[in-house]
Structure 1
Amino acid sequence: MALGIYINMKNEARDALSFYGEIFGSTCTDLMTYGSIHDENGPEMDAKTKELVMNASLEIEGDKVMFSDTPDFMEFIPGNNVTLVLEVTDADKLTRYFDALSDGATKIMPLQKTFWSEKFGQLTDKYGVGWSFNLV
């Protein structure tokens, strides 16, 4: 099990990856853009949005720090843009954590299959902490 850090930005993720990568001597090897999504039911995206970072990461002192841009069709709130990411290999354990933290929480995305995981979900717990749950 790993606990990661996820930072959302408004159109600055590429710059941040370069900036932090230079400082910490790390190179991003997993950058994925919104344009790489092939979802017919998803929102319409212009060329600028398709180039935004959907997910990317750097290793900083042995820890994975993930980055994403928040496109215009999603809400961006400075100060609420850091999320804890719980990556678990046991589906039942992941579900237990999600369900337990759901008490008094705002569910953003229920646990469901995505193109990158058999189970992924997001919520903001009753203390205002953002959580993402990812089955790896």
Structure 2
Amino acid sequence: MTIRLNPYLNFDGNTREAVLFYEKALRGQLLSLTTFGDMPADPNYPLPEGAKDRVMHALLKVGEGELMFSDTFPGMPHQPGDTVTIALHPSEESEARGIFAALEDGGHVVMPLQKTEWSPLYGMLKDKFGVIFQVNVAAEHPKP
């Protein structure tokens, strides 16, 4: 079984500023930054005003580790202290389902496990202790 994990920091509209600050302060390397507006439009779920420029996901390499970042979606509650989640990256979907089910016991599902633009299986939940976990199986990229 292979699982990677990393801190995932959430901000309320100032993720880009935070990522650039941490990149400099921690001598990191920004590997990716995607805004909500960069994603394909979905007529069933139009982006609200102010969402387009917010950061949906950013990845900063720091030494041998990684930090992930995101802005909250406009209108989502944001409370300092709830700004860090734990991102788990199991290598197999069966592992992801088992981990998700175990953490879900006594907790609350924020986003059920499902296929997304970036993952064959992704979901988010708050466990019974109030810790937020993101479970993400990495997408396989075809080899050239």
Q: Same fold (TM over 0.5)?
A: yes
Q: Distance in 2 between matches of 1:43 and 1:131?
A: 26
Distance 1:41 1:73, change over 3 A: farther
Residues 76-116 of structure 1 show CA distances to partners (whole Å, capped at 9, x for unaligned) of 12211210000011111110000011100011011111111
Task: Name whichever of 35-44 and 20-29 sits farther off.
Answer: 35-44
1:83 corresponds in structure 2 to 85
- Normalised by the length of structure 1, the TM-score is 0.93
User: Counterparts of 1:122 and 1:106 in 2: how far apart (Å)?
Assistant: 9
Q: Which amino acid aligns with 2:98?
A: R
The number of equivalent residue pairs is 135
| Normalised TM-score (structure 2) | 0.88
What amino acid maps onto 1:107 in structure 2? Answer: V
1:37-67 Cα deviation digits (max 9, x unpaired): 2222224322x42111110011123111001
SS in structure 2 of the partner of residue 30 of structure 1: strand
- Other-structure match for 2:30: 28
The answer as to 2:48 corresponding to 1:65 is no
What is the distance in 1 between the residues matched to 2:84 and 2:123?
16
Give % identity. Answer: 36
| 1:42 is aligned to 2:42 | no
- How does 1:95-106 map onto structure 2 within 5 Å? 95-106=97-108
CA RMSD of aligned residues (A): 1.2
- Using the alignment, how far apart are the partners of 1:29 and 1:84 within structure 2? 19
With 91-100 and 31-40 compared, the bigger mean Cα shift is at 31-40
Name the structure 1 match of 2:4.
2
Structure showing the higher helix proportion among its residues: 1
- Which runs of no fewer than 5 residues in structure 2 stay unpaired? 139-144
CA distance in 1, matches of 2:29, 2:63: 12
